[in-house]
Amino acid sequence: MHMRLMLLGGGNALGQALIRLGAEENIGFLAPRPPDQGWDAASLTQLLDDTRPDALINLAFYFDWFQRADVDVARLETQERAVERLAELCQYHQILLLQPSSYQVFDGARATAYSEKDEPQPLGLRGQALWRIEQSVRAACPRHVLLRFGWLLDDSKDGILGRFLAAAQTREELLLADDRRGNPCPVDDVARVMLSVLKQLDCAAPLWGTYHYGAHEATTALTLGQAVLAEARAFRSFTVNEPTAQAHAACADAADEPQHAVLACRKILNTFGIKPRAWRSGLPSLLDRFYRHV
């Protein structure tokens, strides 16, 4: 790797996965520790003035965007301003910006897979914030790659997977939608995709723009939950035998969460040669790492 890579958010689950994968290929990252109050416009300005990397991977707010259960509007507003400033700084210093986003920018009203050409219509506050962040990145920093991911699963205790497994150990019933569809994305697979993109950008290929990635075999929330529990029984026993089917419309988060969240991945395949991997194959190692942490 010829580029000097900076990783904001090296301490979170996706940042750690990226560092692990990079180490296997002798690819290192500058991974600065965030200030006590978190990254903001002032601290980012100082950081990039001092370091001047060639490329920056922005996972600074990964947990809030992809894993946190609740939405803190004030935090999202602060993060929006920080990313807007970050994009301006990257343009000023001619730094390539790799920025993650999410299926949540779509409303889920259509049953067919969303491509990069489809117009976002986010439902919830988080999706709306991510859409505004995408727009500010495009406007401020032409040399960017925006990666929208599907249902991202990681090994953080308080993330989506952690909350599901904790509930399965204590509740008598777990309700999951059997008519809500998406692409599960184990965190190691997401790290693979990001590193593959960086490698090709390192060859000075001007492949800027927006790309979708979701693991192979779109599925329902119910089927995903069944598969996770089947694998997790190798590590724990659960009070729940099987999740119970529920309609998307009856879910507590139906107003915010897209019912149909399948992403079409043709563009990232044709541009970078990145093939979707089966999400089921990533569950054993993901759960093994999760239970070694808890």
Q: What is the mean pLDDT of each run of 10 residues along the chain (294 residues)?
A: 93 96 95 91 93 96 95 93 96 97 96 96 96 97 97 96 94 94 97 96 88 95 97 92 94 95 96 95 96 86
For residue 89, how many C-alpha atoms fall within 13 Å in the half-sphere facing its CB? 24
| CATH classification of the domain holding 155 | 3.40.50.720
Core vs surface per residue 247-279: b (16+ CB within 10 A) or e: ebeebeebebbbbbbbbbbebbeeebebebbeb
- Length of the chain in residues, anyone? 294
Q: What is the pLDDT of residue 196?
A: 96
Give the count of domains, the chain.
1
Could you tell me the residue range of the domain that residue 283 belongs to?
5-293
Q: What is the rounded distance in angstroms from the CA atom of residue 104 to the CA atom of residue 244? A: 24
Q: What is the pLDDT of residue 205?
A: 76
Name the pTM for this structure. 0.95
Residue 247: partners with Cβ closer than 8 Å, 6 or more residues away: 177, 178, 179
Q: What is the rounded distance in angstroms from the CA atom of residue 2 to the CA atom of residue 127? A: 35
Q: What is the pLDDT of residue 162?
A: 96
Q: What is the pLDDT of residue 241?
A: 87
Q: What is the pLDDT of residue 294?
A: 76
Residue 146: partners with Cβ closer than 8 Å, 6 or more residues away: 99, 100, 101, 134, 137, 138, 209, 210, 211
Residue corresponding to tokens 């060639």: 54
